[in-house]
A and B are shown apart, each in its own frame.
Chain A
Amino acid sequence: EAQVTQNPRYLITVTGKKLTVTCSQNMNHEYMSWYRQDPGLGLRQIYYSMNVEVTDKGDVPEGYKVSRKEKRNFPLILESPSPNQTSLYFCASGNRFRDISSGANVLTFGAGSRLTVL
């Protein structure tokens, strides 16, 4: 089954304790990205990656790191989590919509990871 798998699904941690949220896709997609969802704000893009070793900042990258050493994996790293990073996090991978020239990446999302930082 084609899917994006995130772990952990739920995590409660304390301020300053480094954590990693893993993301893996089995669709051979080149594009992957991370989002956080907060009430009233929709989803905001944290980081994205167009391919192995190619990453770039989204709109809210502060406090986060990512790496793309393999095509299928795109972990999100919180080096020193703070309470304002309490949120629902989504990983997504993307493939071109029908016509490869359209430039559109249609996103397949993981199930989400709910993170609470105390």
Chain B
Amino acid sequence: AQKITQTQPGMFVQEKEAVTLDCTYDTSDQSYGLFWYKQPSSGEMIFLIYQGSYDEQNATEGRYSLNFQKARKSANLVISASQLGDSAMYFCAMSDNYGQNFVFGPGTRLSVLP
């Protein structure tokens, strides 16, 4: 069975600083996908970034990058130059080999301080 662990229930970061949100995963699949989603206080779920298990380069999307360490089974999200609008809940998720079955972590609440 797949499992996602996010050990940081809450994080604080100063505006304009970088922050790393931790995510570790467990799976027996050889092929899988890793995702990060953002949930602002308004409640919607927003896709941020994707990393395939066979991708050798770390994924980047604007200020977001995914630090993928396959041997450690970790997929940490790095947000550079934090903004007040980055304050939200962040979920790490993974999909199975076929991209059908999704498992989410419990989330990390990030608060950006002015």
Could you list which residues of chain A lie within 8 angstroms of chain B, going by C-beta atoms? 31, 33, 35, 40-45, 48, 50, 56, 58-59, 88, 90, 92, 94, 96-97, 102-109, 111-112
Residues of A contacting B4 in the complex (Cβ-Cβ under 8 angstroms)? 42
Number of interface residues of B (CB under 8 A): 26
Indicate if the CB atoms of B100 and A40 lie closer than 8 Å: no
Residues of A within 8 A of B97 (CB): 103
| A104:B50 contact, CB within 8 angstroms | yes
Within 8 A of A (CB), among B1-39: 4, 6, 31, 33, 35, 37
Give the number of residue pairs across the A-B interface with Cβ within 8 Å. Answer: 73
* Residues of chain B with a CB closer than 8 A to A94's CB: 99
> Does the CB pair B44–A112 fall under 8 Å?
yes
Most-contacted residue by chain A among B43, B52, B99, B106 (CB, 10 A): B99
Q: How far does the Cβ of A57 sit from chain B's closest Cβ, in whole Å?
A: 9
Chain B 74-98 per-residue mask, 1 if CB under 8 angstroms from chain A, else 0:
0000000000000000010101011
A106 touches B50 (CB 8 A): yes
Contact A104 B106 (CB under 8 A): no
Q: List 7 interface pairs A-B (beta carbons < 8 Å), by A numbering.
A: A43-B91, A45-B101, A48-B100, A59-B101, A102-B33, A103-B31, A107-B102
